[in-house]
Structure formats: C-alpha cells, structure tokens
C-alpha cells in the first residue's frame, strides 16, 4: 500500500524497545520538523497482563488489546497488523533505538549487514539490551522489508565527553579496548537540547529519571559528563539496578558467594537499586504509596534515590561553575512531584528551586521517538 490522504510523503516508524516494553511512533515530515501521526506502546511483554495501545497525537485511543504479547517480535507483528488496519502508508524508513553499540558504533547510521555484525560483536557491552534489539531489528526487517532501517545509538550524544570524563582509572590498554564511560539516554538529552533551541543556556544539567536514571552535565548543549558509565548499570541507584558501587563489593561477592558473571549481572541489574532496599518493589508510584503508609524501607529507597540525584547535580554544578538550568525528564522526572521536591531540597543555594518564578528548574517531556525520526530523515536525505 502506498501513501494515501494521511501522509504527505515518506513516513518513518520509530521503534524504542525497553526490557519489557516496546514504544513506537509513526511520523511524517511537516514544515521543518517531524509530525506524529500515531503512537503507542506494548507493555508487560512476556507477562500475562500484557497490553498493546495505539493512540492519536491528541490521546484518542485507536486500538487496545490485552494479554497478547509473548515477545517484542509478537508485539511488532500486532503493531504491523494495526497499522495496516489504520490505512496509514507503509513506512519508508524504520528507526531503531539501540542502547549501546560498543566502541565502534557511536554515530547514528543505516543498518547494513556489517553494522549488524558489529552490534553482535558488542553484545558483551550490554548483554541485557543488545540481543533483544537485534531480534527486533531482524523481525522489523522481515515485516517492513521494503523500508530502509536505521540504528540510532543512545551513546552517540556523549562522544563529546572530554578524556577526564570518558577515561576510567584503569591501565590505558583497557581504554584502547573500549572500556570507557559511554553514557546513555543520549537520544532523550538530544531531544531536550532540540526542544530548548535558542533558550539552551551555557551551563545546564539534565536528569532523565525513570526505571533507568542518569544525570548529564552540558556546556553549550554538549555533554561534558554523565553519571552512567561503561554500561547503563552505573551512576545513581535505579529501579532494579545498583548504580555505582565500591568495586570491592563485587570482589567480595565473587569470593564469598562464588557468583559467576551471569549471576552477578542478574543481581546488579534485576534485584538491586530501589528494589534492593524495598523488598523487590521498584515501581516509584508503589514505593511512594508504601512510604506514605509508613513502610520504612520504601521511605529509605526514595531518600537514597533523591539524595543520589541531588549529589550528582551538586557535583556537576562544581564542574560547570554553576547551573543556569536544571531539566527533569523521564517517567519519574515528569510525573513525580514528590521526588522532584526531594531532589531540589538543598539546591536552593545554587539558585535552583521548583517554585522560583525565574524558571531555572524545568520539567520537560522527553521526545526520544521524535529525535530518532529526525535522525532518520537526515540520513535518508544524505
């Protein structure tokens, strides 16, 4: 099916895969930017409470299905069926968010067999993220075989990190092998820079707070430091990820519990962070409810999270010589007023307050999917 009255040219389907979710958006070029035609998400993939929802840009529900999603590829097939039913043109391009491309894939680019091989070779840099991304790419290429496919990397935005931020305190040979600070949530941070446009100040700190959370220091719109490191496990404690730990803790676990690499990875990425404090609970809304009902461990988890983010912001204020703008984004950053207030308590001496009419603290919705569509459009025109 070719373009119909819904489209004014080439549409781009953006796929943004998470660990148990798949977000997507269909875009067309309008004016000098990308306009959203429809968006949606498949949630709870692999669980019996899975759902698929597709909405118009104004929030009207076009499609809702329950208990249907065995895998991301299953979710993608359902999405393709619904797109066909909605009579939208088949996408000319498909943009894939890829969390980590390893040391050799640091720029957004067309997916070729060689790029796919390089992604496969980089699996050990992000074993939780790259295999499902590859499976989704394979399936999307089968379903949308006539479209051009592009990979957009969360690490690309952070290629501006200076050596003092990028290099780890290990022998130089490790840096040469790609063991460096990569940084993540780059597509989210890029979208905020694009949103701010000419309002982007010289010294800014962005905090993307969700199930995965990171903080980024920006000078003139470019990343100069960020809290996540070699992998998305580092930085502040997150929903189920430990964040930064004394390396001696890992040595202790290896020695006393005789954990292998896979067990250690599961512990650090699936059972730690806020879930470690709060008896397995990692959902921020659930933690806030428990804390309000007097649960001491849930209260501790919230306090630890907000304090870690606040300390990181303070460190970046020292790095930048002050902060002109603090932006909070991501699911928690955008929706939890209580966490925003906890983070900003104690930052008033930097001139950062949620209630300051000068607006040095802002909550801005992240637009990762739109940012991917922008990159795809540029790559298509190159």
Cα 319–chain centre separation = 24
* Domain encompassing residue 342: 160-363
Three-class secondary structure assignment of 308-330: HHHHHHHHHHHHHCCCCEEEEEH
Phi and psi dihedrals of 134, rounded to 5?
-65, -40
Pair (275, 318) in one structural domain? yes
CA–CA distance, 266 with 233 (Å, rounded to integer): 11
DSSP 32: T
Within a domain: residue 381?
Answer: no
CA–CA distance, 277 with 164 (Å, rounded to integer): 32
pTM for the full predicted model: 0.94
Pair (99, 204) in one structural domain? no
Q: What is the mean pLDDT of the chain?
A: 93
pLDDT band at 380 (very low <50, low <70, confident <90, very high): very high
Q: Give the CATH number of the domain where residue 119 resides.
A: 3.30.420.40
Pair (184, 265) in one structural domain? yes
Pair (291, 169) in one structural domain? yes
pLDDT band at 83 (very low <50, low <70, confident <90, very high): confident
Q: DSSP letters of 328-358?
A: EEHHHHHH-HHHHHHHHTT-GGGT--TT-TT
Which residue from 119, 199, 124, 198 is spatially nearest to 153, judged by alpha carbons?
Answer: 119
Tens digit of each residue's pLDDT (9 = 90 or more) over 328-375: 999 999 999 999 999 999 999 999 999 988 899 999 999 999 999 999
Residues 16-33, mean pLDDT to the nearest whole number = 89
Pair (98, 171) in one structural domain? no
Q: Please say which residue of 153, 180, 199 terminates a domain.
A: 153
Please name the residue that has the structure tokens 């929903």.
239
Within a domain: residue 375?
Answer: no
| 48 a catalytic residue | no
Pair (40, 111) in one structural domain? yes
Pair (112, 205) in one structural domain? no
Q: How many folded domains does the chain comprise?
A: 2
More confident residue, 265 or 68: 265
Helix and strand totals (H; E) in the chain: 14, 13
Within a domain: residue 122?
Answer: yes
Q: Please say which residue of 153, 179, 213 terminates a domain.
A: 153
CA–CA distance, 91 with 79 (Å, rounded to integer): 12
Pair (247, 355) in one structural domain? yes
How far, in Å, are 203, 229, 231, 270, 278 from residue 253 at the CA level?
Answer: 40, 21, 19, 16, 21
Position 185 pLDDT exceeds 90: yes
Pair (126, 230) in one structural domain? no
Phi and psi dihedrals of 179, rounded to 5?
-90, 85
> Which candidate in 49, 154, 324, 356 is catalytic?
154
pLDDT band at 89 (very low <50, low <70, confident <90, very high): confident
Q: In percent, how much of the chain has pLDDT > 90?
A: 81
């Amino acid at each position: 099916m070719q373009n119909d009255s819904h489209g004014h040219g080439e549409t781009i389907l953006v796929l943004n895969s998470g660990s148990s979710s798949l977000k997507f958006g269909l875009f067309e070029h309008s004016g000098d930017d990308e306009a959203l035609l429809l968006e949606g998400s498949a949630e709870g993939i692999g669980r019996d409470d899975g759902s698929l929802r597709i909405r118009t840009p104004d929030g009207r529900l076009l499609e809702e299905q329950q208990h249907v999603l065995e895998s991301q590829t299953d979710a993608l097939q359902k999405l393709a069926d619904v797109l066909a039913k909605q009579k939208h043109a088949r996408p000319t391009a498909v943009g894939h968010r890829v969390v980590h491309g390893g040391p050799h894939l640091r720029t957004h680019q067309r997916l070729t067999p060689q790029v796919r091989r390089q992604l496969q070779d980089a699996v050990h840099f992000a074993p939780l993220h790259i295999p499902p991304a590859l499976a989704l790419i394979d399936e999307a290429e089968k379903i949308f075989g006539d479209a051009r496919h592009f990979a957009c990397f969360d690490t690309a935005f952070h290629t501006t990190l200076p050596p003092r931020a990028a290099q780890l305190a290990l022998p130089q040979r490790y840096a040469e092998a790609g063991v460096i600070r990569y940084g993540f949530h780059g597509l989210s941070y890029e979208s905020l820079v694009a949103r701010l446009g000419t309002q982007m100040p010289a010294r800014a700190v962005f905090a993307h707070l969700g199930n995965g959370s990171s903080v980024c220091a920006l000078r003139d719109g470019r990343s100069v430091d960020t809290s996540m490191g070699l992998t998305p496990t580092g930085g502040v404690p997150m929903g189920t990820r430990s964040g930064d730990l004394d390396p001696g803790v890992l040595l202790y676990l290896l020695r006393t519990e005789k954990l292998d690499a896979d067990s250690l990875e599961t512990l650090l990425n699936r059972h730690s962070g806020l879930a470690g404090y709060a008896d397995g609970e990692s959902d921020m809304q659930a933690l806030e409810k428990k804390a309000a009902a007097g649960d001491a461990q849930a209260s501790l988890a919230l306090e630890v999270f907000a304090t870690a983010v606040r300390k990181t912001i303070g460190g970046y204020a020292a790095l930048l010589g002050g902060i002109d703008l603090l932006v909070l984004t991501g699911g928690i950053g955008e929706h939890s007023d209580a966490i925003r207030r906890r983070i900003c308590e104690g930052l008033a001496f930097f001139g950062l307050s949620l209630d300051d009419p000068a607006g040095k603290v802002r909550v801005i919705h992240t637009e990762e999917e739109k940012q991917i569509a922008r990159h795809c459009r540029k790559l298509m025109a190159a």
